[in-house]
Amino acid sequence: MKHVKKKLIAMMLMGILVFAGCTNQDVGIVIHSDGSGSVTGTVRIEKEAYMNYIKRQSEEWQLSVAEMTEFVDKEMKKEGFQPVNIGGKEYYQMEETEKIRKGKLQKYFGGEDASYVTTDTVYLVLSKGYGDDEMYSSMINSGILEGSVSLTVTVQLPAPIVNTNGKVDASNPNKAEFSVPWNKNATIFATTQKQVTISSIKSKIKKLNAVKATKITKLKQDKGKKKAKKAVVLLKFKKVKGALKYEIQYSEKKNFKKAKSIIVKKNSNTIKKLKKGKKYYVRVRALKKNYAGVIVYSSWAKAKIKTKKE
């Protein structure tokens, strides 16, 4: 039965989703006043849905229901799923908690989706499908998973939530709940500050991600040796406050197709081994790490130069 293991495990959760549905995912986010926090993720699959899938697959794999159940039960256990009973209903459940160290909230939650989390505000942007898992991409786009999977996110802050696009818990004003659709992008927002809104957070993120553009101050060919086979160009540009490094690109094409790139720390560089008698397009941009530790870039500063034949 080893030859079917990889394919069977890959199909297992997908099969439950497609044929039976009833997969619930819960994420609990707790933010503490000292800047630390925790995230608890729970995946729960109805055992009845699971067994229906096992019965369907046992015939395809030419195994008995008992053999299929025993095998998949073992694999589910390896993945961290345990049987639980909630309200008289049986589930397979996996739960994991990850703690966030003090002062690491932005780096933990931040990323390409421009999320923003502090001790008084949670703003999270979730991509449809809760990620980019290729196994589900076509199913997400076709809408086949709609209603099969549910995700509930709860956010708890150190003080009462005064503005949110979720639902504040009637018994705990510090806590809000969000029901997130599977096949759509979603935004989770909760704050303890009256003046903070989704629009103000977006503006703040935009400002924090902004990097001032540099300006090319010198682009000229180095005289070098008269009989040199290749041309050398000297490039200088203005320093940008807060920039960690600079990216330089140069190409014979105006659209920078097949451009060569150089990453430098200083605001000057020597571009070597260029063809003589050719026009080159050059551009430079500054880069830095934003509030979440993600690299962000300025716009390009551009210039062009034609190297001499001799």
Q: Residue 137 carries which side chain, given as an amino acid letter?
A: S
Asked which of 60-64, 117-121, 168-172, 205-209 is least confident by mean pLDDT, the reply is: 60-64
Say if pTM beats, i.e. exceeds, 0.75: no
Question: Distance between CA atoms of 125 and 116, rounded to whole angstroms?
Answer: 9
| Residue 132 pLDDT greater than 80, yes or no | no
Q: Rounded to the nearest 5 degrees, what angle is found at the Cα of 74, between the Cα atoms of 71 and 78?
A: 140
Where is pLDDT greater, at 8 or 185? 185
What are the backbone dihedrals phi and psi of residue 168, each rounded to the nearest 5 degrees, phi first? -70, 135
Q: What does pLDDT average to over the chain?
A: 82
SS3 call for 128: helix
Question: Distance between CA atoms of 293 and 111, rounded to whole angstroms?
Answer: 8
Q: Residue 124 carries which side chain, given as an amino acid letter?
A: L
Taking residue 154's Cβ as centre, other Cβ atoms within 10 Å add up to 20
- Tell me the pLDDT tens digit for each residue of 20-54: 445 677 889 999 999 999 998 887 777 777 777 66
Taking residue 179's Cβ as centre, other Cβ atoms within 10 Å add up to 11
CB 176 within 8 A of CB 161: yes
**pLDDT grade for 123, boundaries at 50, 70 and 90:** very high
Question: Distance between CA atoms of 271 and 250, rounded to whole angstroms?
Answer: 9
What are the backbone dihedrals phi and psi of residue 56, each rounded to the nearest 5 degrees, phi first? -65, -40
Question: Counting every residue, how long is the chain?
Answer: 310
| Residue 307 pLDDT greater than 50, yes or no | yes
The pair of structure tokens assigned to 259 is: 């451009």
Nearest to 282 by CA among 230, 242, 246, 229: 246
| Residue 173 pLDDT greater than 50, yes or no | yes
SS3 call for 208: helix
Nearest to 290 by CA among 169, 208, 202: 208
Question: Distance between CA atoms of 89 and 77, rounded to whole angstroms?
Answer: 19
| Range 216-306 has CATH code 2.60.40.10 | yes
How many angstroms from the chain centroid is the CA of residue 155?
19
The pair of structure tokens assigned to 188 is: 């989770």
pLDDT in the model for residue 190: 98
pLDDT in the model for residue 146: 47
Tokens 């003090």 belong to: 102
- Tell me the pLDDT tens digit for each residue of 184-213: 788 999 999 999 999 999 999 999 999 999
CA torsion, points 116, 117, 122, 123, in degrees to nearest 10? 10
Where is pLDDT greater, at 243 or 54? 243
CB 256 within 8 A of CB 216: no
Nearest to 153 by CA among 120, 188, 121: 188
* Domain edges within the chain: 2-207, 216-306
